[in-house]
C-alpha cells in the first residue's frame, strides 16, 4: 500500500465502537467557542472558492505521488467550475461529472492554512454543514477531513502525520463514518491501519446535516447535528502516539471522489452529476 492517506475502510466498524468508544459524553453545546477561521461560501454562482482560503488539488495525485490519490480513485480533480464552484445561494458545490468516454471528473480542495490546532490545554472544533450527494449510487465517496501539517509537501509520512476524517460516506448510503489514522505503520499499529479507528452513525433524514469533530487535550469526539457518536482517547492509542499525532497543526480538506478501494467502482446504475453541497466550514477554539 502506498505511503498516502488511503482512507480505505472495512464496514465492520461496530466492533470498533465496542472496543474503543467507551462512554460517550454529551455534546459540548454549552462550550464557549470562538471562531478561528471560516468560509461561508458567499458569492456569485459559478465563482471558484476563494484562493486566499483554499488550494485546489488537481489531476490524479499529489506531485510525484501515487496515482488515484493512494486510494485507487478514478476521477480527475479539476478547477473547472463544473466540478467546484459556488452555487450563488451561499454554498459550495462539488460535482462529479462523467464525459462521453466514461471518464469522471470532480473536485478536491484543501485549506491554505495548515496550523489548525487547539490552544494549550484547550479544544479545537472543526465543523461543516453538508448535504451529501443525493442518489448518485455506487462509487460516490464524499469526504470532509483533515491531514497533519507534516504531510503537506512530503506525501510519504502517512499515517504518522495524522488524519482525522470528520465525515465520510460511500455509495449514497445513509451511514456516515468518522475515523482517526495514526502511527508509524500502514498496516496495524495503534490506529489499526489501514482501516483506522472508525465509528459510524446512520442519518435519519436527507438534506443538510452538521458534522464536527472536537479535538481536546486527551480526546477526539465526533458529532452529527450536535449529537456525539464516536470517541477516541489518548489511552486508546498510547501517550507517545497521541503526542506525535497531535503535536502539530492540521489542514482541512473537502472532496468528492469517484471509485476507490473502499466504495468500489461505479456501476451502470451510477448517476453522474450529483453534488456535495457545503454551506460552511468553521474552525473554532475553546479554552
Residue 274, pLDDT above cutoff 50: yes
Question: Average pLDDT for residues 8-15, to the nearest whole number?
Answer: 37
CA nearest to 219, candidates 164, 169, 145: 164
Q: What is the pLDDT of residue 66?
A: 83
Render pLDDT for 115-167 as a digit per residue (tens, 0 to 9): 999 999 999 999 999 999 999 999 999 999 999 999 999 998 999 999 999 99
Question: Average pLDDT for residues 102-111, to the nearest whole number?
Answer: 98
**28 pLDDT tier (thresholds 50, 70, 90):** low
**31 pLDDT tier (thresholds 50, 70, 90):** low
CA nearest to 283, candidates 28, 38, 59, 12: 38
75 with 257: CB under 8 angstroms? yes
Render pLDDT for 34-86 as a digit per residue (tens, 0 to 9): 999 999 999 999 999 999 999 999 999 999 888 999 999 999 999 999 999 99
The CA distance from 182 to 164, in Å, is 9
Q: What is the pLDDT of residue 15?
A: 33
CA nearest to 162, candidates 277, 250, 44: 250
Q: What is the pLDDT of residue 65?
A: 80
User: Could you identify the residue written with the cell 457545503?
Assistant: 278
Residue 3, pLDDT above cutoff 50: no
State how far Cα 99 lies from the chain centre. 26
The CA distance from 273 to 104, in Å, is 10
Strand 140-148 relative to strand 163-168, pairing: antiparallel
Strand 197-202 relative to strand 208-215, pairing: unpaired
Grid coordinates standing for 250? 492540521
Candidates 1.10.1240.10, 3.50.30.30, 2.60.120.200, 3.40.309.10; CATH matching 13-20+33-286:
2.60.120.200
What SS3 state is found at 175? strand
Residue 1, pLDDT above cutoff 70: no
Q: What is the pLDDT of residue 64?
A: 82
Amino acid at each position: 500500500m502506498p505511503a498516502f492517506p488511503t482512507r480505505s475502510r472495512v464496514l465492520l466498524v461496530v466492533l470498533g465502537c465496542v472496543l474503543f468508544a467507551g462512554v460517550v459524553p454529551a455534546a459540548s453545546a454549552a462550550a464557549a467557542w470562538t471562531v478561528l477561521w471560516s468560509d461561508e461560501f458567499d458569492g456569485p454562482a459559478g465563482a471558484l472558492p476563494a484562493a486566499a482560503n483554499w488550494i485546489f488539488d488537481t489531476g490524479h495525485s499529489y506531485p510525484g505521488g501515487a496515482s488515484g490519490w493512494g486510494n485507487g480513485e478514478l476521477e480527475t480533480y479539476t478547477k473547472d467550475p463544473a466540478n467546484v464552484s459556488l452555487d450563488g445561494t451561499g454554498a459550495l458545490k462539488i460535482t462529479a461529472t462523467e464525459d462521453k468516454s466514461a471518464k469522471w471528473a470532480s473536485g478536491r480542495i484543501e485549506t491554505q492554512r495548515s496550523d489548525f490546532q487547539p490552544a494549550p490545554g484547550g479544544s479545537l472544533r472543526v465543523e461543516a454543514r453538508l448535504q451529501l450527494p443525493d442518489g448518485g449510487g455506487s462509487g460516490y465517496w464524499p469526504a470532509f477531513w483533515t491531514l497533519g501539517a507534516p504531510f503537506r509537501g512530503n506525501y510519504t509520512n502517512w499515517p504518522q502525520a495524522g488524519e482525522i476524517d470528520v465525515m465520510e460516506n460511500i455509495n449514497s448510503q445513509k451511514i456516515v463514518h468518522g475515523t482517526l489514522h495514526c502511527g508509524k505503520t500502514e498496516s496495524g499499529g495503534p490506529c489499526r491501519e489501514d482501516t483506522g479507528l472508525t465509528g459510524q452513525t446512520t442519518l435519519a433524514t436527507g438534506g443538510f446535516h452538521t458534522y464536527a469533530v472536537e479535538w481536546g487535550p486527551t480526546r477526539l469526539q465526533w458529532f452529527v447535528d450536535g449529537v456525539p457518536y464516536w470517541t477516541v482517547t489518548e489511552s486508546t492509542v498510547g501517550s507517545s502516539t497521541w503526542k506525535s499525532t497531535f503535536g502539530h497543526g492540521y489542514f482541512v480538506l473537502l472532496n468528492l471522489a469517484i471509485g476507490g478501494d473502499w466504495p468500489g467502482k461505479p456501476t451502470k446504475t451510477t448517476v453522474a452529476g450529483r453534488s456535495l453541497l457545503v454551506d460552511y466550514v468553521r474552525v473554532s477554539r475553546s479554552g
